[in-house]
Amino acid sequence: MRQLSLVVTCTDRKVDQPDPALSARNLPQGSVKQRSSNWQKRIQTATARGGSSLPSLAELYRGDHWTRSRRLVAAAASAGYKTQLWVASAGLGLQPVEPKTQTAPAYAATFSTRHADSVATSATENTQWWGHLQAGTGRSTLHELGQQGPVLMVLSEVYASAMEEELVTLGGLGGEALLIGGLREIPGVHRVRSDAGLSRALGGTLTSLNVRMAASWLEHSKDGMLTSPATQKAWSEWAAATTKPVKYNREPMSDEDVIVFIKRETAKLPGVSRTRLLRALRDDGKACEQSRFANLYKKTMGER
């Protein structure tokens, strides 16, 4: 069986609430390098102190995205691959999920720049953070995984942005590399954009859509090659015949109602990002155009 590396992002839902010291919001001010070094010392100290009582990486994360991510291993096995699952984390770097002796403490760290536990304030700083984190605590790089065999990555836009330097290096290998989701096209990496129109056929929540797309891609693997022309053709034909336009029947809101919503939710969740607020509003069946919501958010929060 061919070796396949599966790389997925972590989730903000954990098995336990993190210690305050392991929440990025509580890091002292400083350069990205200084804050990253401070963070890594805190993770390492907590790991050493917790020892065998800490959850394994397989057990640390929660939610539909993580449940489906772990099931990808079985989907890859059915496609004829021997698989190693890796998790890309803003708090830990790139880590193997197995064996179960691989443990970590609960933590709160994200690349979403408007989140209270954001590790940085810009995409450029996110990239720097990832580089420092990988140098200190990461167990491998995408390039190293690519040297072992095919690599299938399921990455959000923000993670793909932070990891872009590694993605470019991986693409330069000339091997088989597949990216589901991501931010932009990378030479040498076959990218399949996230398609909400497939959500009805694949089921589940939108948070796990990219993982489900990855599982479907593996099901359409025709010749044991991750990105062969035959597999690409099989997937493209299925996706084109299956995708459906997404229709939202949401209730319009006045400016006053949107402002009330923002005040109420930010009071309940201090530091919640604007993106998460808009998603919560829409998940509640309400309608507000993105730029309008951004302007009302800035007005409500006193931002310029």
Average pLDDT over residues 214-226: 92
pLDDT at 242 over 90: yes
pLDDT at 248: 61
Instruction: Write down the pLDDT at residue 222.
Output: 81
Q: Is the pLDDT of residue 223 over 90?
A: no
CA angle (106, 107, 113) in 5-degree steps: 155
pLDDT at 272: 80
- Over residues 51-60, the pLDDT tens digits come to 779 999 999 9
* Average pLDDT, integer, range 188-205: 93
Domain residue spans of the chain: 2-242, 251-301
* Confidence tier at 27 by pLDDT (50, 70, 90): very high
Residue 286 burial (C-beta neighbours within 10 Å; 0-12, 13-18, 19+):
middle
Span 107-141, pLDDT tens digits: 999 998 878 899 999 999 999 999 999 999 999 99
For residue range 139-167, list pLDDT tens digits in order.
999 999 999 999 999 999 999 999 999 99
Q: What is the mean pLDDT of the chain?
A: 92
Asked whether residue 304 carries a pLDDT value surpassing 60, the answer given is: no
Cis geometry, peptide bond prior to residue 99 (ω within 30 degrees of 0): yes
pLDDT > 80? residue 17: yes
Work out the average pLDDT over 279-302: 87
Query: Is pLDDT larger for residue 268 or for residue 289?
Result: 289
pLDDT at 303: 67
- What would the DSSP string read from start to end of the chain? -EEEEEEEE--S-BSSPPPGGGBGGGSPS--HHHHHHHHHHHHHHHHHHHGGGSPBHHHHB-SHHHHHHHHHHHHHHHTTEEEEEEEEETTTEEEE--STT-B----B-BS-TTSTTBS-SSHHHHHHHHHHHHHHT-S--HHHHHHHS-EEEEE-HHHHHHTHHHHHHHHTT-S-EEEEE-SS-BTTBEEE---GGGHHHH-S-GGGHHHHHHHHHHHT--SS-TT-HHHHHHHHHHHHHH-------PEE--HHHHHHHHHHHHHHSTT--HHHHHHHHHHTTEE--HHHHHHHHHHHHT--
What percentage of the chain has pLDDT greater than the value 70?
Answer: 98
Please give the residue that has the higher pLDDT: either 104 or 50.
Answer: 104
pLDDT of residue 251: 85
Residues in the chain: 304
